[in-house]
Structure 1
Amino acid sequence: MGQIQYITVGMTKMDSLWLSNPTLAYQDWQAREAAGADRRPFSARSIVQHQAMFENFRRHLMAKGTTIASFGTADIDAFWQTPDSRTYSQTTRTRYVKLLDRLCRHLVSTGVRLDNPAAFFLSAERWPDQEPAPLFLTEAEDARLQAYIQSIPDDLAGLRSRSIVAAFLGIGITAGEARAARMADLWPDAAPPYLIVRAHGLRDARTVHLGRFAVSILRAWCARRATLPIDGDLLFTLTPDGRPITDMSFGRIVATALAEIGFAGAEPSPRTLRNTFCRRQLLAGHSRDEVSQMLGLASNRTCDRIAATLESDDRALAQTPRARANE
């Protein structure tokens, strides 16, 4: 507490906002001053991503009982040990370190902080030489999981869990989109059935058709969900008061389902199922532009990376003895 009293001396009203309302202070700084290494302002999409990352770290600090003005290297190190952070790729971890380094340098320059604990981590982090290969289910694993979710359990928890897995595998939505989905957004009895994904951040609203294998379980969940005494109208919730499901809970639900079908991959997560949805659409002959639109993406970068795995499979097939014998 003594450190905070010392550094507040001579601070402007905007600088002191970092102590009273760090979320608002970060938003203001991003809008007015924050820039990348080339001194160019960040794009609107990057600003949204940075704000989400900052809020994630700020919530970690609140749970630790510390503040933006007083956290140290031990608090950053503890952040890497949280369940969500343990799943971060090298690229994501490096982005966090760079964000915290920019933040701390700004806070030191304005007198809100006395040191930059992120500098220690910055020296140890580097961007990967190449992006990691996207993770997805093989076609055989995809088929097994599709069969698994078509079996409709009687118990509420099992029905809810399989319907959540069906949404990720059969619609290709993100965890955030599943968390925000409302009952009125899902139309399993339409022809064809679809989900309306509402606009959020920089992503426009879009309509995504349900995979045929996902229709029955999602229809059953909608019918059951309509009878539950749950506050609000969220499509998926674990609590009677209607609170959204956390990423950690989504991760556990997906991991449990994947364990049931014998999946042993490195990342049993909603993202792996979203990548599987993407790959399945590409295999079905949809263009990269079409699949990117289904996923709500502004560019084809994700589809390009996953399409490259199809090309790798084709090259491997061409090298098999049977393929060479047929040339």
Structure 2
Amino acid sequence: MDRFDRLWLTNPTLAYADWQAREAAGVDRRPFSARSIVQHEAMFERFRRHLLAAGVTLATFGSDHIDAFWQAPEAECYTAATRMRYLKLLDRLCRHLVAIGVREGNPAEKLVRDGQWPQDDPLPIFLPEDADGQLQAHVQPHAGDDLAAIRSRAIVAFFLGTGVTVAEGRSAEVADLQPAAAPPYLHVPAHGAPDARTVHLDAFAVPILSAWLVRRATLPIASDLLFSLKAGGTPITEMSLGKIVRAALETIAFEADDMSPRILRNTFCRRQLLAGRSSEDVSKLMGLVSSRTCDRIAATRISVGA
């Protein structure tokens, strides 16, 4: 095992990024797109953190650790298609690790073989207009809110009022958010394939985001991240974001199969479509490379009588 192969055990994140850049390819043997590479690295990081918490390495994890991954709080909203994408990634990874002598077997092989891609895409989940309005009211500033309450309202308003992804929200910096501009906006830097873009804030989100920036400026945080509260400036975790969104939805008595920030992104998308914007325009606004997601959400306007 040479020094590059040992890197899988000493610095898995760096090893995976290097492998993706040099060798990894899809079933047609064509290199992955820049967007796919970003997505794969994010998926790998989630699984790596799961293994780290379980006290195992890329050389020693088994199928039981893959099964346990689906039980993690941040994975509870994964669709059947998302699980298959993870299994394909892990199968591809483990075959490589076996080939270079880091592993002795591939625990994902049988899981991929037994798994099936869903025949139909699941219907997108979003907040109905009345629930959207209730959540918009919930995130307004409240007198007497402590630091945690202000931050939670601001986080929910941020995702509901901008439609950004969790990754974009976690990496957003204070300077990216400009609620006092005319019109108020969020700058979303380029992440992989999607270009940088500007998202105009929905009006309901401006008061609480402005209040959060005022409070955020008083905190001794060694970071420019918008929603970091720790002194070291580390990003807020996906699990924490999920808990905050779920708690807000429970406050307005809304329940759905997906209670993650994704439902807020879908709701933002549908709100823009109902306002008369085209699927193509909304897709660009959300940093999507195609209008497929927006087209599916647009179709729900007919099914629910909007």
* TM-score (norm. length: structure 1): 0.88
Per the alignment, in what secondary structure is the counterpart of residue 286 of structure 1? coil
State the alpha-carbon separation in 1 of the partners of residues 3 and 91 from structure 2: 23
Deviations, residues 100-153 of structure 1 (Å, cap 9, x unaligned): 111112222232221111113113311001111111000110111111112434
State the match for 2:53 in structure 1.
Answer: 63
- Cα offset, 1:38, TM superposition: 2.5
The higher radius of gyration belongs to 1
Deviations, residues 228-279 of structure 1 (Å, cap 9, x unaligned): 2333222212323332111111111111111111101121211101100000
Per the alignment, in what secondary structure is the counterpart of residue 257 of structure 1? helix
Aligned partner letter, 2:54: K
Tell me which of 194, 218, 226 is aligned to 2:209: 218
- Cα offset, 1:13, TM superposition: 4.2
Tell me which of 247, 269, 283 is aligned to 1:292: 283
State the match for 2:191 in structure 1.
Answer: 200
Aligned partners of 2:35 and 2:194 also within 8 Å? no
Tell me which of 83, 87, 102 is aligned to 2:77: 87
Tell me which of 70, 73, 77 is aligned to 2:63: 73
The percent identity for this pair of structures is 63
State the match for 1:252 in structure 2.
Answer: 243
Tell me which of 50, 53, 57 is aligned to 2:40: 50
State the match for 1:160 in structure 2.
Answer: 151
Matched, 1:122 2:92: no
Per the alignment, in what secondary structure is the counterpart of residue 136 of structure 1? coil
Unaligned residue ranges in structure 2 (runs of 5+)? none
- Listed as ranges, the matches of 1:228-243 within 5 Å are 228-243=219-234
Q: Give the paired residue count.
A: 305
Aligned partners of 1:153 and 1:159 also within 8 Å? no
Deviations, residues 18-45 of structure 1 (Å, cap 9, x unaligned): 3333333322322233222223322221
Aligned partner letter, 1:303: C
State the match for 1:24 in structure 2.
Answer: 14
State the alpha-carbon separation in 1 of the partners of residues 128 and 101 from structure 2: 53
Unaligned residue ranges in structure 1 (runs of 5+)? 1-10, 318-327
Evaluate the alpha carbon distance shift between residue 14 and residue 230 of structure 1 in structure 2; reply closer, same or farther with a 3 A threshold: closer
Aligned partner letter, 2:27: A
State the alpha-carbon separation in 1 of the partners of residues 5 and 276 from structure 2: 54
Deviations, residues 179-218 of structure 1 (Å, cap 9, x unaligned): 1122211111111111111222222221111111111111
State the match for 1:312 in structure 2.
Answer: 303
Aligned partners of 2:25 and 2:31 also within 8 Å? yes
State the match for 1:268 in structure 2.
Answer: 259
- Listed as ranges, the matches of 1:98-177 within 5 Å are 98-154=88-144, 155-177=146-168
Q: CA RMSD in A?
A: 1.7
Evaluate the alpha carbon distance shift between residue 41 and residue 234 of structure 1 in structure 2; reply closer, same or farther with a 3 A threshold: closer
Evaluate the alpha carbon distance shift between residue 67 and residue 41 of structure 1 in structure 2; reply closer, same or farther with a 3 A threshold: same
